[in-house]
């Protein structure tokens, strides 16, 4: 096994942010929507990685990662800043909550401008 995969496997990120149990109340304040939308995630100093947005709310998102070639994935830590491209006309700044299996969960800024941009994206992605 290459050192990249060994390092990735050693990460203990499962349920790192919420530790939900069946008895625990849902701590997210924003309604979540199941979606399927292509996006890219990246960092200023690295090549972006393709993914699919699978869950979205005003406060955050879940992205299924497709490109495991990004060596910077092994160095990710909770609260690292990155950007999400393809959701809004300009990239959205977000912070890592947890990286569980092949799903990256991120938190968005709570500022009003970001929330308005994300709400427009939710409206577009969930309209029938």
Inside any domain, residue 48:
yes
Residue 102 lies in a domain: yes
| Predicted local confidence at residue 34, as pLDDT | 96
For 61-91, write each residue's pLDDT tens digit: 999 988 665 566 667 788 889 999 999 999 9
Domain span holding position 57: 3-14+33-126
What Å distances lie between residue 80 and 20, 41, 66, 70, CA to CA?
22, 12, 20, 16
What pLDDT is stored for residue 78 in this prediction?
A: 87
- Does residue 24 belong to any structural domain of this protein? no
CATH code where residue 48 lies: 2.40.10.220
82, exposed or middle or buried, with CB in 10 Å at 0-12, 13-18, 19+?
buried
Give me the percent of the chain exceeding a pLDDT of 90: 48
Asked if 55 contacts 103 with a C-beta cutoff of 8 angstroms, the reply is no
**Is residue 118 in a domain?**
yes
Q: Has residue 20 been placed in a domain?
A: no
Q: What is the CA radius of gyration of the chain?
A: 15
Say if 108 falls within a structural domain.
yes
Domain count, the chain: 1
**Does residue 55 belong to any structural domain of this protein?**
yes
Residue 72 inside a domain? The answer is yes
């Amino acid at each position: 096994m290459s050192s990249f995969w060994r390092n990735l496997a050693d990460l203990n990120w499962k349920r790192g942010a919420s530790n939900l149990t069946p008895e625990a109340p849902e701590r997210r304040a924003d309604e979540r929507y199941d979606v399927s939308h292509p996006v890219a995630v990246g960092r200023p100093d690295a090549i972006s990685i393709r993914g699919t947005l699978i869950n979205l709310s005003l406060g955050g998102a879940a992205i299924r990662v497709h490109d495991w070639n990004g060596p910077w994935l092994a160095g990710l830590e909770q609260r690292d800043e990155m950007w999400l491209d393809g959701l809004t006309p300009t990239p959205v700044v977000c912070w890592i909550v947890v990286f569980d299996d092949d799903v990256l969960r991120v938190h968005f800024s709570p500022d009003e401008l970001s929330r308005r941009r994300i709400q427009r994206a939710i409206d577009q992605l969930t309209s029938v």
